[in-house]
Amino acid sequence: MGSISFSHVDKIFGPQGSGVKALDNINLDIADREFVAIVGPSGCGKTTCLRMVAGFEAASAGEVKVNGKTVTAPGPDRAVVFQQFALFPWKTVRENIDLGLRNKNLPLAERDGLISSALKLMSLESHADAFPHQLSGGMQQRVAIARAYVLDPEVLLMDEPFGALDAQTRVVMQEELVRLARRNPRTVLFITHAVEEAVYLADRVAIMTRRPGRIKEVLDIRSIREAEGWDRHPKIEDVMDLESFVHLRTHIWKTLREEKDFQHV
Amino acid sequence: MLKALAGGLFLGLAPGRKPAIKVATLAALIGLWFLLTTVTGAVTGGRFPSPAEFWTSLVQINTRGYAGAGLVSHALHSVKLVAMGFLVAIATGVPLGLWMGWSRKVEALVNPVFLIIRPIPPLAWIPLAILWLGLGDAAKIMVIWFSAFVPSVINAFTGVRNIDRPVIEAARMLGTPRWRLISEVIAPAASPMIFTGLRLSLQASWTTLVAAELVGALVGVGFVLNMAQQDIYPGMILVGMLTVGLLGWGTTVLLGMAERRALAWNIAARD
């Protein structure tokens, strides 16, 4: 079980009264094992939405709930994958993945088994004893994803996880994430400003306005994906060539373009 | 020793060898010293000792002793005081700095006291320390503690404040309990800055030790310097000065080795 709900959520940064309104009346329900991506111009507050689910920020008004319970603090039931990886540079790959398991007080043998399968899942077996700085950006993000997945979280929160990667690595990671999501479905909240990434990965895409951020439109991608048989194509570039994909992408772009000052094209 | 020095001089002629350049500089300095004192007599023995006078003083303190003891005893005593003052300072200063960095409340509580105490030069504590604890070791350890405490606190504090926010958030998201967060995340993340503080603390420890021993002591390198000044004995003054320099350098090297060991991940990441 891992549902997420935003109801009438406002977020104001700075002092009450004179602060900056970042989010305005956000309403969004994400079902268990649904993959929802939020796209929007930079500074629209999409990352703030994720940070509230993670428990790093509190809502100024309204409620953010996970499984019907109001979020009050961060916890391993809501694993986060950060844009800048946020690995512990003084710990090896294995130790990075192990920390969350140790915090759960699992016995050593069980931890070893879980770490091994997480390493295997992310093709990191040969790097278990490397330090993060010895790995490429793509590899480091694999470690971060393994660190999150190994906890078997109800909710996976991904904050522009591929934003810091080069284009080729990015595509590989996107395909990998789809593979992972199929094998072991999780509720995912995915923040990105890359429209194609959102359409390729998500069941639904929420489009936000510029500040103060509101949800302008929510698109159902899943029904189109299933109707048009996107999953028959193993490669991302083939899916991106399909007319149904292009149509959705263009629609989202146009919607975003209507937002003044939108700079990401 | 001589052979190594000669080898160093020879290597000094080869271009692009940094250790060789260091040895050559040192050799040139000694040569200049010899030239100014012994060869030309431009600097008289009453102002600065010649190499021969320095050597005589070095032999004297090592065979017959000076200021009540041999050089080794003086040096060991000074090292002991520095080590104790330094260790007490970092054992108290680093945790306080980490705590202040972590908690705005603790910072707000401690900072006013710190702002008043910090501008007081450590040496200004010497009269009070002697009044409280006498001329013995305890007063000197206290003064060293005070002087080495401040850089330890400030750098540990800054180290915590400079930690990337996502690193702490990642640890909290993983459900890391408080004590483990401090020992496995906060402290290692702040450790490059902590070590910067330790180096400054060590330097402050030696400065303060010599000053404290100059004012009142019965043994130690600072006491040797003080006695040599009263005896108008430039050769012995130089022995004391070089001993302090050598001990300070040696302890800094030891700390550097500990740092390289502890921060292997960081040094490799920087390169």
CATH code, domain with A258: 3.40.50.300
CA distance B128 to chain A (A): 43
What percentage of chain B's residues is helix, strand, coil (to nearest 5)? 80, 0, 20
A139 close to A162: Cβ distance less than 8 angstroms:
no
pLDDT tens string B141-166:
999 999 999 999 999 999 999 999 99
pLDDT of residue B17: 59
DSSP string, B173-205: HTT--HHHHIIIIIHHHHHHHHHHHHHHHHHHH
pLDDT of residue A220: 93
User: Does the beta-carbon distance from A103 to B177 stay under 8 Å?
Assistant: yes
User: Does the beta-carbon distance from B268 to A133 stay under 8 Å?
Assistant: yes
Q: Which residue of A has its CA nearest to B187?
A: A90
User: Does the beta-carbon distance from A74 to B189 stay under 8 Å?
Assistant: no
Overall average pLDDT of the A31-56 stretch: 92
In chain A, the number of structural domains is 1
Q: Is A2 helix (H, G, I), strand (E, B) or coil?
A: coil
In this model, does residue A144 exceed pLDDT 50?
yes
User: Does the beta-carbon distance from A82 to B164 stay under 8 Å?
Assistant: no
Closest Cβ opposite residue A86 in set B167, B175, B176: B167
Compute CA distances B242 → B46, B55, B247, whole Å: 18, 12, 8
Give the pairing of strands A215-220 and A35-39: unpaired
Interface pTM (ipTM) of the complex?
Answer: 0.88
pLDDT tens string A97-131:
999 999 999 999 999 999 999 998 888 999 999 99
Range of the domain at A66: 4-74+173-178+193-264
User: From CA A68, how far away is CA B238, in angstroms rounded?
Assistant: 77
User: Does the beta-carbon distance from A75 to B175 stay under 8 Å?
Assistant: yes
User: Does the beta-carbon distance from B166 to A86 stay under 8 Å?
Assistant: yes
Q: Is A76 on the interface with B (CB under 8 A)?
A: yes
The reply to whether A216 falls in a domain is yes
The reply to whether A100 falls in a domain is no
Overall average pLDDT of the A41-65 stretch: 91
Closest Cβ opposite residue B269 in set A79, A86, A133: A133
pLDDT tens string A147-164:
998 998 989 999 998 888
Q: Any idea which fold B51-270 has?
A: MetI-like fold (1.10.3720)
The reply to whether A183 falls in a domain is no
Q: Whole-number mean pLDDT of chain A?
A: 89
Q: Is B170 on the interface with A (CB under 8 A)?
A: yes
Task: Tell me which residues of chain A, numbers 41 to 70, contact chain B at a CB-CB cutoff of 8 Å.
Answer: 54-56
Query: Which runs of E-coded beta strand occur in chain B?
Result: none
Closest Cβ opposite residue B166 in set A78, A84, A132: A84
Chain A residues with CB-CB distance to B193 below 8 A = none
Q: Which mean pLDDT values do the consecutive 10-residue runs of chain B (271 residues) have?
A: 44 57 91 89 85 92 90 94 95 95 92 88 88 89 93 95 94 94 94 95 93 85 92 93 95 93 78 57
The pTM (predicted TM-score) of the whole model is 0.81
User: Does the beta-carbon distance from A54 to B166 stay under 8 Å?
Assistant: no
Which tokens hold the place of B42? 């431009």
pLDDT of residue A261: 53
